[in-house]
Structure 1
Amino acid sequence: MIDGRVSRRSVLMGGAAIAAWSASPVSAMLRRIDPGKDAGTIDKLIAQMTLEEKAGQLNLLASAWGGGIATALNPPGGNSDFPKQVADAVAGKLTGVFNGNGAAMAMQMQRAVMSGSRLKIPLMFAADIIHGHRTIFPVPVAEAASFEPELAERTARVAAYEAAGSGVDWTFAPMVDIARDQRWGRTMEGAGEDVVLGCLFAAARVRGFQGSSLDADDAMLSCAKHFAAYGAAEAGLDYSTVDVSERTLRDVYLRPFKAAFDSGALSTMASFNEISGVPSTGNHWLMTDLLRGEWGFKGFVVSDYTGDEEMIAHGFAKDRRDAARIAFLAGVDMSMQSGVYTEHLPSLVRDGAVPQALLDGSVRRVLAMKAKLGLFDNPFRRIDLKREKSRSRLPASLALAREAAVKSCVLLKNDGNLLPLSPSATIALIGPFGSVGQDLNGPWVVYGDNKQAIDLPAGIRTAMKGRGRLTVVAGSGVESAIPGGIEAAVAAARGADVVLLAIGESEAMSGEAKSRTEIVMPAPQQALAEAIAATGKPVVVLLRNGRALALEGAVKAAPAILVTWFLGSEMGNGVADLLFGAASPSGRLPMSFPIASGQEPYHYDHKPTGRPNGPGKLQEYKAHYQGVPNEALYAFGHGLTYGDMRYSNLVIDAPTMAWGGSLGVTATVTNAGRVAAEEVVQLYIRDRVASVTRPVRELKAFRKIRLAAGASAQVMFKLSRAELEFIGMGLKPTVEPGTFDVWIAPSAQADGVHSTFELGAA
């Protein structure tokens, strides 16, 4: 039975446990550990451990006391008995648990281990803190639309501040997978389709989660996932096969991981997928040769949820013992949820199938990380019942959530300057997402509550301040019609000056295991949109989504379209700020919206092929689908403001970049509009001729600037030879002299201003 009460007695017992720990001989030995300098002390502890206790330090389980959303996301399975889980922890059978029930649960478990276990090795508590703890921020792909890595660092810092205050030592974030097929549901967890943007956001989130020191009580260990190429799953199907060349792996999918590790991430999670026939969890080249050997990674590797056991279904392991052997020898230090390491590692070592030195090495890495987190110094460092409440949903945190919501939205279209609206207007809010208190936080929220989030009606009414009139009608469900719903919606539209059409995906349609065969609007919502368009009233589409969508019919033709994603705690206020002009949209698409769903996988930096169509009319026997150009409806980097941004006067320092030098590229950007606005100025290149074919465009840098109405600014970028490198024939970074196109533009598909330069020979 789970004791959910937090009594004064339990708090006092927690204090007693801390005191007992502090006075113990093991504490005296381990609290002096400097994992960077004193590995010998950890080795002394390892020498005292049985094989079973060593395997226990490599065993991570879902908390038996998770409750609510946590239990639904990661069912504890056979580990649903909390007292038994505590007893197993005391017996040294597990290193920690994840997605537990806050400080109360952590206190009970840590107290039991510190007072009753043989070696007094602290537990480590983990959780899926993907885009917030109690204060929920926009889903990661939405935050990437801000094109402000610094914003992601700040939101990750608040998430760590809150979560660490409730006992969390380790988060399974950031997800740094490049996603180029929007059918894949986990698109919402990453930074989209571009490598440069992905690297910058990966690094920023690591810095935010980990803070200035991992042993601080407001810091969490980050975990770059999913290693590797999970976003390249065939047909966008979650858990499916990946088959990419090593060149593409290195040029695209591995780079954000390297950026995360270079920024201090000291754990990574093996991906579910196979790569070229070898499951990542059993891939020695990936986990050992590349990660530890070539890159020098010093942290530890954890499997994804039962990922090691799943090698049996892959046809790569014959049984659980074989799966444990393969995963461990490949370089996976810690097993999540399956229990195969505790079952089989001791006997595998005794039988000589696994060298004991390798087992000791994995245990050493895990214990060193617990030391870095300050757990040997104070096992209760992050477990504080009062702190858990005092850090939750602070005014400053909610203000940041509102700022992030505003900066994450992307204005795709604004014909006739329909937006911003007057707060005195008569407005009909129509659609399944105009309703109260649902689908606001988005997928992968373990501890947040939609009931605490500001919904659209609340945010809009607050912004209108009693002026005008707001009518709210659902019109349809997300995936089903409502009897009489369209008729009621049409009546509301006819009585309004303008319609806000809140349509898109529910939380249940995006995220893990939510792959879609077609990324279109569900039929009932499309029918609702067609009926509203037929009224002739001006329509602003408010898209709720966790991926790019293929817009059709009345949705595509609406005069204004605002991508609002899942924005979290301040969704209603953030969207209202944009609708009524308290802020000007500044977000840009981190992935391309295709013309048709069948174009997926689609990404702007595709290769030209030997038969490119070129601009203009579609030609026979060229690279395009029937009737559809090989381009996006709204390309990566696209987004409008309430200003009128114009590009001119591209200047390059010199016609040739010296082999060891750099080149300045400058353009003038002018806001010809009537309001101040922020523009994301983007630099793209194309290597025209190379020994390995290169994409039609590649983002190399961007800068976000604010311009007053009528103001201009010169925006300069510096290019060096390093920005021109690619993975060459020898699978090493290389660059070759020749001609390069360069654009400074508002998106990957816009002309902006364009010129060329030469790279000189060495």
Structure 2
Amino acid sequence: MSHNTYYDKHALARAKDLLADMTLSEKLGQLNQFSGEDGHISDHLRANIQSGNVSSVINEVDASVVNELQRIAVEESRLGIPLLIGRDVIHGFTTVFPIPLGQAATWCEQTIEQGARIAACEAASQGVNWTFAPMIDITRDPRWGRIAESLGEDPFLCARLGRAMVTGFQGTDLQDATSIAACAKHFAGYGYSESGRDYHFANISENELRNTVFPPFKMAADAGVATFMTSFSDLNGVPASGNKWLMDDVLRKEWGFKGFIVSDWASIEDLSVHGLTENNAQSAQLAANAGVDMEMVSRCYAQNIPALLEAGTVRHSDIDAMVTRILYLKFALGLFENPYTDSSKFPERANLEHLEAAKQAAIKSCVLLKNDAHVLPINTRLTNHIAVIGPLADDKYEQLGTWIFDGDERYSITCAEAMRAKVGNNGHIHYAKGLDTSRTFSNEGFQEAIEAAQQSEVVIMVLGEESILSGEAHCRSNIDLPGAQSDLLDEIVALGKPVVLVVMAGRPLTIGAETDKVDAVLYAWHPGTMGGSAIADLLCGDAMPSGKLPVTFPRAVGQIPLYYSQKMSGRPVTQESFVHQNDIPIRAAQTSLGMASNHLDVHFSPLYPFGFGLSYANLQYSEVMLSSQQMSAHEPLNVSVDISNESDFDTDEIVQLYIRDLVASTTRPIKELKGFRRVHVKAKSKVNVSFEITEDLLGFYGQHNTRITEAGKFYVWIATDSASGEYKEFSLVK
């Protein structure tokens, strides 16, 4: 959605006209969001809506109840101001798409936009007009449960995928019945929470904020996202919901954001828990003066702002501005003209078109991490007996993932179901659960699993973590496979059959030991409603793996944070300087170990790098070609590469462009993603892929935290992942 489509003068004029008719009580009512009551409207909620004390209701998704809430607001309150109906529509509604981290593995803006568009349509059919997505926090810590809800570790990728999600939710016209307002969250720094724990604190330099954390939010603001949400976390000593620098100085004044800001759930009240304020009155004062327009669920504003206005510690003009921004969105959504929802005018939820879109998204999201001896794809015409084993192999609910309040597991197709349909009457699927859940430690089901494997020519193990183990407040200190899953895998591997490991999880797991034992690994994240169908198509060669990792996989938790765009350090480790502790001679001299930046007990490389993902095709990249060795502001540089497919498989490849600024006034990352493109490469053919490098693409925030570009030398790669390819050198001339 374009910036101009959202911010029109007519809607602003209407909002200001309405503001002029409002009492102070009615103004303050527009700052309040109430929680829904699960299909019930209590006398308390009804009375508050009638009195004009409610601006928004969160978590009510029954269209008839929502219509009644709107009727009370429109017909029984003095001014008839309709309600914003908020819901966490994160990766689908009734039709569930892969978790956002899985969607990020598609590296496909069109796929993500389509998924958000379908989710918006389904949610709008039930009266929802506002979603709390996309979550565009950059995170480098897979212990954090909310990494599942993120778009990965890289600001360039996250910014573009987040923009696609905003466009999908909001469409080209917010007044379209199928459009809902989006919310960029969490501003800012939540993904850096220490120890990967929710509601915690983050210490991030302003330079890091501007170069890494802010870019996705800036792009969302430029794309016309309707709202922002504050972070739960403490940022550099000032929790976000009371952080005037974040909300007013950066977001409003510097970026020109004109939408409204909502707190996260009770995060204004939590300011006193953090120790920033003494009580709820102080919390309300700080949040209001910071520019937080609407309070989610807690009542600090409602109970304290009248006294704060009387004392002069909050200004009437600021309250008027806050209310105007909220009213503006209601006018922009067309709620004053169309407050009610007629569900019969919407497409059926989870219809065939929606389910097919979810399947294609899941296919693109799965990442092939290993395929030794070309075990995959499985030829179902020649393979008559296939074992499908694991606690997640036939669980309709768990494959949906975190944050799926409205997902309907009845529509889910599991891996076991899809494989049965795939082989039909030509073969046999031997299914065994092996473990009751992913967390089970009992080996009671092992023997059944062993017998299923013994009868089979190839074994598909579907392991990972249940959906409850990721998401908000579901952080883990140990990100190995939980329960006795590794023990079960050992028992199956010992039989000597080819073993394919399919992992369903809400985060990268430390699965190095497991991947070493098996023949092939397909990382499926939590793939959503149609996950089983997508996995079966991929395993059997009816679809081609094309996903790429949007986040680095560590070998061990102790490596965290581990990400591809780290800086060089003064003494970078190399393969030659690395020494493992097991190889250190007894009584070795203290300074005999290379003196490099590494851990002694684990290799410095990741298990799998950012951008990694295999295909069944054999793709070869040629040498990178430059249009010139020098570029200037007026003459962009063209870089290109030929990609040859030497196999018999047609495939999609996600081609990635990286640069490195060799010398700068502040140290720069060893690599930075600056472009990507999904291209189709037919069997036995070649394609040319090119990118344009502009001066702006080489810019960064320097010592004074202003955006600059500097002359000098750069490396450039076009590669299949962040750890591959040979660089070419060019210079930017000023």
1:54 pairs with one of 4, 22, 27: 27
Matching of residue 612 in structure 1 with residue 572 in structure 2: yes
Matching of residue 446 in structure 1 with residue 405 in structure 2: yes
In structure 2, the partner of 1:500 is 460
Matching of residue 65 in structure 1 with residue 38 in structure 2: yes
Q: Supply the AA of the counterpart residue of 1:102.
A: D
Q: Supply the AA of the counterpart residue of 2:195.
A: A
Matching of residue 715 in structure 1 with residue 673 in structure 2: no
Matching of residue 655 in structure 1 with residue 613 in structure 2: no
Q: Supply the AA of the counterpart residue of 1:634.
A: Y
SS of the residue 2:607 aligns to = strand
Alignment of 1:164-563 (within 5 A): 164-380=124-340, 383-387=341-345, 390-424=347-381, 425=383, 426-476=385-435, 477-563=437-523
Greater displacement, 333-342 / 472-481: 472-481
Matching of residue 693 in structure 1 with residue 659 in structure 2: no
Greater displacement, 553-562 / 282-291: 553-562
SS of the residue 2:624 aligns to = strand
Cα distance between partner residues in 2 of 1:138 and 1:726: 33
Task: Tell me, yes or no, if the aligned pair for 1:450 and 1:569 is still in contact at 8 Å.
Answer: yes
Q: Which runs of 5+ in 1 are unaligned?
A: 1-32, 67-79
Q: Deviations over 1:316-344 (max 9, x none)?
A: 11111111111111110000010111111
What TM-score does the superposition give when structure 1 sets the normalisation length?
Answer: 0.91
Q: Which runs of 5+ in 2 are unaligned?
A: 1-5, 580-592
Cα distance between partner residues in 2 of 1:618 and 1:566: 36
Q: Give how far 1:355 is off.
A: 0.8
Cα distance between partner residues in 2 of 1:53 and 1:558: 64
- Give the direction of change, closer, same or farther, for the CA distance of 1:117–1:34 in structure 2 (3 Å limit): farther
Q: Give how far 1:659 is off.
A: 4.0
What TM-score does the superposition give when structure 2 sets the normalisation length?
Answer: 0.95
Matching of residue 644 in structure 1 with residue 611 in structure 2: no
Matching of residue 733 in structure 1 with residue 707 in structure 2: yes
Q: Give how far 1:134 is off.
A: 0.9
SS of the residue 2:715 aligns to = strand
Greater displacement, 50-59 / 367-376: 50-59
SS of the residue 2:338 aligns to = coil
Q: Give how far 1:717 is off.
A: 1.1
Greater displacement, 530-539 / 247-256: 530-539
Q: Supply the AA of the counterpart residue of 1:414.
A: N
Cα distance between partner residues in 1 of 2:416 and 2:24: 59
Q: Give how far 1:526 is off.
A: 1.1
- Give the direction of change, closer, same or farther, for the CA distance of 1:681–1:34 in structure 2 (3 Å limit): closer
Task: Tell me, yes or no, if the aligned pair for 2:394 and 2:417 is still in contact at 8 Å.
Answer: no
Q: Give how far 1:475 is off.
A: 1.2
SS of the residue 1:609 aligns to = coil
Task: Tell me, yes or no, if the aligned pair for 1:618 and 1:627 is still in contact at 8 Å.
Answer: no
- Give the direction of change, closer, same or farther, for the CA distance of 1:475–1:309 in structure 2 (3 Å limit): same
Cα distance between partner residues in 2 of 1:379 and 1:155: 25
Q: Deviations over 1:455-500 (max 9, x none)?
A: 1111111122222111111112311124421222122212211111
1:672 pairs with one of 632, 642, 646: 646
Q: Supply the AA of the counterpart residue of 1:739.
A: K
SS of the residue 1:368 aligns to = helix
Q: Give how far 1:47 is off.
A: 2.8
SS of the residue 1:568 aligns to = coil
Task: Tell me, yes or no, if the aligned pair for 1:667 and 1:753 is still in contact at 8 Å.
Answer: no
Cα distance between partner residues in 2 of 1:753 and 1:86: 66
Q: Give how far 1:352 is off.
A: 1.9
Q: Give how far 1:34 is off.
A: 9.3
Q: Give how far 1:40 is off.
A: 4.4
Q: Give how far 1:624 is off.
A: 1.0
SS of the residue 1:364 aligns to = helix
Task: Tell me, yes or no, if the aligned pair for 1:42 and 1:364 is still in contact at 8 Å.
Answer: yes
SS of the residue 2:425 aligns to = coil
Q: Deviations over 1:384-414 (max 9, x none)?
A: 14236x4311211111011111011000010
- Give the direction of change, closer, same or farther, for the CA distance of 1:471–1:652 in structure 2 (3 Å limit): same
Cα distance between partner residues in 2 of 1:101 and 1:191: 26
Q: Deviations over 1:511-551 (max 9, x none)?
A: 00111102111141111111111111111000001111111
In structure 2, the partner of 1:626 is 600
Task: Tell me, yes or no, if the aligned pair for 1:530 and 1:553 is still in contact at 8 Å.
Answer: no
SS of the residue 2:47 aligns to = helix
- Give the direction of change, closer, same or farther, for the CA distance of 1:236–1:436 in structure 2 (3 Å limit): closer
Cα distance between partner residues in 1 of 2:12 and 2:233: 34
Q: Supply the AA of the counterpart residue of 1:386.
A: S
Greater displacement, 40-49 / 725-734: 40-49
Task: Tell me, yes or no, if the aligned pair for 2:31 and 2:323 is still in contact at 8 Å.
Answer: yes
SS of the residue 2:420 aligns to = helix
- Give the direction of change, closer, same or farther, for the CA distance of 1:55–1:204 in structure 2 (3 Å limit): same
Q: Give how far 1:660 is off.
A: 3.0
Task: Tell me, yes or no, if the aligned pair for 2:577 and 2:596 is still in contact at 8 Å.
Answer: no
Q: Give how far 1:87 is off.
A: 2.0
Cα distance between partner residues in 2 of 1:350 and 1:46: 20
SS of the residue 2:421 aligns to = helix
Cα distance between partner residues in 2 of 1:34 and 1:256: 20
- Give the direction of change, closer, same or farther, for the CA distance of 1:340–1:719 in structure 2 (3 Å limit): same
In structure 1, the partner of 2:96 is 136
Q: Give how far 1:96 is off.
A: 1.6
RMSD: 1.6
2:107 pairs with one of 125, 143, 147: 147
Task: Tell me, yes or no, if the aligned pair for 1:526 and 1:555 is still in contact at 8 Å.
Answer: no
SS of the residue 1:531 aligns to = helix
- Give the direction of change, closer, same or farther, for the CA distance of 1:524–1:483 in structure 2 (3 Å limit): closer
SS of the residue 1:460 aligns to = helix
Cα distance between partner residues in 2 of 1:758 and 1:660: 14
Q: Deviations over 1:341-394 (max 9, x none)?
A: 1111122212322111111110111011100000112222xx114236x43112
Cα distance between partner residues in 1 of 2:11 and 2:602: 63
Q: Deviations over 1:104-127 (max 9, x none)?
A: 111111112222111111111111
Q: Deviations over 1:72-123 (max 9, x none)?
A: xxxxxxxx86332122111111102111032111111111222211111111
Q: Give how far 1:37 is off.
A: 3.2
SS of the residue 1:97 aligns to = strand
Cα distance between partner residues in 2 of 1:549 and 1:436: 20
Q: Give how far 1:617 is off.
A: 5.3
Cα distance between partner residues in 1 of 2:197 and 2:358: 31
Q: Supply the AA of the counterpart residue of 1:567.
A: P
Task: Tell me, yes or no, if the aligned pair for 2:228 and 2:260 is still in contact at 8 Å.
Answer: yes
Q: Supply the AA of the counterpart residue of 1:55.
A: L
State the identity as a percent: 39
SS of the residue 1:457 aligns to = helix
2:9 pairs with one of 36, 61, 83: 36
Q: Give how far 1:135 is off.
A: 1.0
- Give the direction of change, closer, same or farther, for the CA distance of 1:125–1:289 in structure 2 (3 Å limit): same
SS of the residue 1:465 aligns to = helix
